[in-house]
Each structure stands twice: as C-alpha cells, then as structure tokens.
Amino acid sequence: MHLFDTTTLLAYLAAALVLVLLPGPGTAWILAQSFAGGTKRGIQAGLGLETATLLHALAAGLGLSALLATSAMAFEFVKYLGAAYLVWLGIKAWRSGDAGTAPTDADAPKPRASGRSVYLRSVVTGVLNPKVALFFLAFLPQFVHPERGWVWLQFFVLGALLAVIGFCNDLFLSFAAGRFGRRLAGGAGRWTQRATGTLFIGLGLRLAMQQRG
C-alpha cells in the first residue's frame, strides 16, 4: 500500500510551496547569514534549518511535539531558551562589528572556516522554535492517513518534501543576498555585522513574545 495518494500529495506540495514562499524568521535568518558571510554561509544556514525541519517532522510523527501543545511549561521553557540563544548570537555579532572596521576571521567567521558552526547554530535555531513544532503538529496531520500505516514515516516523508522545497528557496535567497552582501563587505563590514546582530536580537525578542495560540 502506498503511503500517499496522488491527490493528497499534490495538495500537500502546493500548500508547502506557498508556506515556504511566505517570508518568516527562516527567511530572515538565511538573509542575515548570507549578508554576513556570503552565499556559502547562507547555504550552510539553509542546510541547518532544513535539518531542523526534518527533526520537527520526525518528532511530530513520534508524538513528542504534542508535549509542547499540551504543556504550557514546556512551551515556555523552549521558547525562552530559543529566544535567549538568538539574542546571544545578536550580541556576539554586535561585538564582532565593534572589533574593527571590517570583520576578520577571528571576530566574524567566514564560510570556509565556520561552515560546521553555522550549520549547527542553524539547527539549534530551528529546533528551539516551539512555534515550528506546533506548526508541524497542526499542519502535517491533515495529510497523514493512519489507515495506510507507518504514520511516523508519513510524517518524515512530508517533512522531507517540505525541507527540499525550503532548501531550494534557501539557495535562491543565499545566492541573491550573497552577491549583494559581497558588495557591502568592502566598506561597510562593521555596519553589516551590526545589522546582522540587530536582526538576530529582533528575532529573539519576537520569539520571546510569541504565544501558544
């Protein structure tokens, strides 16, 4: 028995495409990384965010995300942890901008030297957003059919499809912002770092103010 029928799959792909194209925190994160470190860094950030997408889909399939939907304490804990992490990244970026006119390898990691770091930070950023977990718990079940079996696998496949579509969008944003960011890097490195830091802090504060409903 197939996991999905054609109608369900096409409906999901159309909905996923619309959701990916809507600007959100993920878009802001990719743009910030691309402006700060070029196209390659944006791609690394995209890989991290889409890895988090897969983890959220798997967690929803295993029922772990239900904890965030039913426990206010769990939701608040994850929310503030994620917000604090984003604010910390913003402060770190600001301090890098204050270290000199243009960031160096020591105070503003370049894609070649910090690929793993950017990837891991992006995974953590995506995983620590409880709204994403709740979104998967609310959105994916509409396209899951328990009678077809392998429910956790259905969740994972849907998450993988969303991650692929999302990464295609991440590639486009990374290339576009990376080219523009390189033009700025010559004479505005400090202000680029400060703008990146401000964006991170803004994302953290936005996450801290989010409500469950």
Q: How confident is the model at residue 60 (pLDDT cuts 50, 70, 90)?
A: confident
In Å, how far from its chain's centre is CA 22?
13
Contacts of 107 (CB under 8 A, 6+ apart): 95, 96, 99, 100
CA dist 137 and 27 (Å) reads 21
Q: How confident is the model at residue 132 (pLDDT cuts 50, 70, 90)?
A: confident
Mean local confidence (pLDDT), 116-132: 84
For the chain, percent of residues with pLDDT exceeding 90? 17
More confident residue, 139 or 54: 54
Q: How confident is the model at residue 113 (pLDDT cuts 50, 70, 90)?
A: very low
pLDDT of residue 44: 94
Domain boundaries defined on the chain? 25-209
| Window from 20-29, 73-82, 137-146, 189-198 with minimum mean pLDDT | 189-198
Q: How confident is the model at residue 110 (pLDDT cuts 50, 70, 90)?
A: very low
Query: Mean pLDDT score of the chain, rounded to an integer?
Result: 76
User: For residue 84, is pLDDT > 70?
Assistant: yes
Which residue in this structure is represented by tokens 């944006």? 42
pTM to 2 decimal places: 0.69
Mean local confidence (pLDDT), 73-79: 69
Amino acid at 148: R
CA distances from 59 to 36, 161, 162 (A): 32, 16, 15
| Window from 34-43, 67-76, 109-118 with minimum mean pLDDT | 109-118
pLDDT of residue 145: 78
| Window from 68-77, 99-108, 134-143, 160-169 with minimum mean pLDDT | 99-108
